[in-house]
């Protein structure tokens, strides 16, 4: 066909599309949206950081979880929104579909990015469709866009549940040129489906671990819908973030199960939600809503560290970097060494780490430390009496000392600790047995378990047979039908 004739036909298509009526309201009742906005505007503000992607649910039951990340991202200046959702009713004749029709919402009309739609339609795997008239994965999001992103045009996309990774790659190649520094990619996705809450919690943990690695290649190996309702949407979000912005690891804003909103605790078929933000910037914890805890690795204020912290300026600089991450939220660390009533006198044994309480305690408090694990190879460096004295000092200063045995309860979660190593009175390894984790079993109802595991060889880049054995023993006691997937640090 002659190029001019082709352009003329495209012009007719565009003219028809612009003349077509917007999709009517799918949700005519504004109340769920108004309630969600009222809730989140009281406790959330737009972030100063640059937000390039958002993942939200599409169940109005969790309307507040839809609203919160969208409000947090609304401080940016955007020239285009790409909105991706699963094709819930399998109405698309191709792996993906889009539309040139705009949408009406309870807060006004959301415009379509016609130029972007035309580019996307150039992909042979994409169909134009009116299926959007009843696609709640789009309609549940649009009112918030009308309110907080007025006049920003949208490229709406549905992805067929049977689309393949090969299809996703083709779609990504078409979408990448449409991503600009001012594009917001919104992924409308619900997570674990049709499982009881305890089992769903296990699937959520597996999902969260996959997200924390930020590797799009891991997404095709997840289960759909046991982990999420659209692997394609999650993969596209991550791959576009990685290829354009260089960062595909999200910030998790919230993770909830539908029973949080009411219903039977033993409901056999539930849905989970995991909200996410993507940003090339550091977003401090203080900017995120809700309660948060942080976990740190080896920490001590002895040896060379004591000399560094003797300089107030250097100590303040280190503290500033840590608090920029935690926002002074509660921090639980692995405390390597022994807190003493005074400075340690030399180093009578090269493996000992001693800390002056006059330095260690104030610094732990300044960093917001609320608990320390004493299950490591340095806890007995000065003997059992010194360790007991350290535990008393910690307790007097409101810092929980975590020791092997029954996990400590922190309200929303429990912390279990275990060490397979010891320095004194003689170097020893393989101290743990299969029964060492018997007390880690979860109570009813189950709570997440965070485990501080002290084991292995320094500088090794892979687990040994011993570490795998320890993990197996822990799972034997922890993984029950009602509680799965501890978090190991």
CA distances from 483 to 193, 197, 477 (A): 17, 10, 10
User: ∠ CA(463), CA(468), CA(472), 5° rounding?
Assistant: 155
User: Model confidence over 444-479: pLDDT tens digits?
Assistant: 777 788 999 898 888 888 889 999 999 888 877 775
* pLDDT tens-digit map of 60-88: 999 999 999 999 999 999 999 999 999 99
Q: In this structure, what token pair is assigned to residue 82? A: 């790409």
- Quote the pLDDT of residue 286: 72
Mean pLDDT, residues 14-31: 79
Q: What does each C-alpha distance from 431 to 426, 438, 450 come to in angstroms?
A: 12, 15, 20
pLDDT value for 251: 94
Q: What is 3-287's CATH superfamily?
A: LigB-like (3.40.830.10)
- Position 484 pLDDT exceeds 60: no
Return the percentage of the chain with pLDDT > 90, whole number.
Answer: 75
pLDDT value at 485 more than 60: no
Per-residue confidence (pLDDT) for residue 264, from 0 to 100: 85
Q: Token pair for residue 177?
A: 């040129």
Distance of CA 1 to the CA centre of its chain: 50
Tell me the HSE value of 434 on the side-chain side, using a 13 A CA sphere: 3
- Which among 104, 96, 102 is positioned nearest to 122, based on CA atoms? 96
Spatial separation of the C-alpha atoms in residues 20 and 16, rounded to whole Å: 6
C-alpha distances in angstroms, 319 versus 203, 313, 344? 36, 10, 23
Q: Which residues pair with 90 in a beta bridge?
A: none
Could you state, in order of their start, the residue ranges of all structural domains in the chain?
Answer: 3-287, 294-488
Please report how the helices 357-366 and 312-326 are oriented relative to each other, as an axis angle in degrees rounded to 10. Answer: 40
Q: State the chain's mean pLDDT as an integer.
A: 91
Tell me: pLDDT of 246 over 60: yes
**Longest CA–CA separation in the chain, Å:** 91
User: How far apart are the C-alpha atoms of 193 and 200, rounded to whole Å?
Assistant: 8
How many Å apart are CA 353 and CA 378, to the nearest integer? 7
Which pLDDT does position 442 carry in this prediction?
A: 76
pLDDT digits (tens, 9 = 90+) for 342-392: 998 865 566 789 999 999 999 999 999 999 999 999 999 999 999 999 999
Residue 445: both structure tokens together: 């109802």
pLDDT at 156 over 50: yes
Tell me if 221 sits within 8 A of 295, measured CB to CB. no
pLDDT digits (tens, 9 = 90+) for 259-272: 999 988 889 999 99
């Amino acid at each position: 066909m002659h190029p001019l004739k082709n352009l003329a036909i495209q012009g007719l298509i565009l003219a028809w599309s612009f003349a077509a009526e917007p999709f009517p309201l799918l949700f005519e009742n504004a109340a769920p949206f108004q309630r969600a906005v009222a809730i989140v505007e009281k406790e959330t503000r737009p972030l100063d950081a640059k937000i390039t992607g958002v993942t939200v649910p599409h169940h109005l039951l969790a309307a507040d979880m839809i609203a919160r990340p969208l409000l947090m991202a609304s401080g940016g200046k955007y020239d285009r929104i790409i909105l991706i959702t699963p094709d819930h009713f399998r109405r698309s004749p191709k792996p993906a579909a889009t539309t040139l029709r705009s949408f009406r919402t309870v807060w006004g009309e959301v415009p379509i990015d016609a130029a972007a739609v035309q580019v996307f339609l150039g992909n042979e795997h994409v169909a134009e469709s009116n299926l959007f008239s009843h696609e709640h994965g789009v309609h549940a999001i649009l009112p918030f866009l009308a309110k907080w992103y007025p006049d920003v045009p949208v490229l709406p996309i549905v992805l067929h549940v049977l689309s393949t990774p090969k299809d996703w790659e083709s779609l990504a190649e078409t979408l990448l040129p449409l991503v600009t520094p001012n594009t917001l990619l919104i992924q409308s996705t619900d997570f674990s489906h049709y499982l009881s809450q305890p089992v769903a919690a296990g699937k959520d943990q597996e999902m969260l671990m996959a997200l924390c690695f930020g590797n799009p290649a891991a997404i095709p190996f997840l289960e759909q819908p046991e982990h999420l309702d659209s692997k394609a949407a999650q993969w596209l979000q991550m791959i576009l973030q990685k290829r354009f912005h260089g960062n595909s690891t999200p910030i998790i804003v919230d993770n909830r199960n539908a029973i949080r909103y009411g219903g039977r605790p033993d409901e056999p078929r539930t849905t989970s939600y995991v909200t996410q933000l993507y940003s090339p910037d550091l977003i401090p914890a203080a900017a995120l809503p809700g309660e948060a805890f942080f976990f740190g690795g080896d920490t001590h204020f002895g040896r060379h560290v004591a000399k560094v912290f003797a300089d107030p300026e250097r100590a303040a600089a280190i503290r500033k970097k840590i608090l920029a991450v935690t926002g002074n939220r509660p921090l639980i660390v692995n405390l390597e060494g022994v807190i003493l009533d005074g400075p340690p006198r030399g180093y009578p044994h090269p493996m000992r780490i001693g800390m002056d309480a006059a330095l260690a305690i104030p610094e732990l408090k300044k960093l917001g430390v609320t608990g320390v694990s004493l299950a490591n190879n340095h806890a007995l460096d000065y003997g059992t009496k010194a360790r007991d004295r350290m535990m008393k000092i910690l307790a007097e200063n409101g810092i929980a000392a975590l020791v092997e045995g029954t996990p400590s309860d922190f309200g929303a979660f429990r912390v279990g600790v275990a060490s397979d190593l010891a320095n004194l009175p003689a170097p020893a390894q393989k101290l743990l047995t299969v029964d060492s984790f018997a007390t880690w079993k979860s109570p009813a109802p189950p709570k997440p378990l965070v485990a501080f595991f002290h084991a292995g060889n320094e500088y090794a880049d892979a687990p040994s047979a011993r570490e795998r054995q320890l993990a197996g023993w822990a799972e034997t006691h922890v993984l029950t039908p009602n509680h799965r997937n501890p978090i190991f640090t």
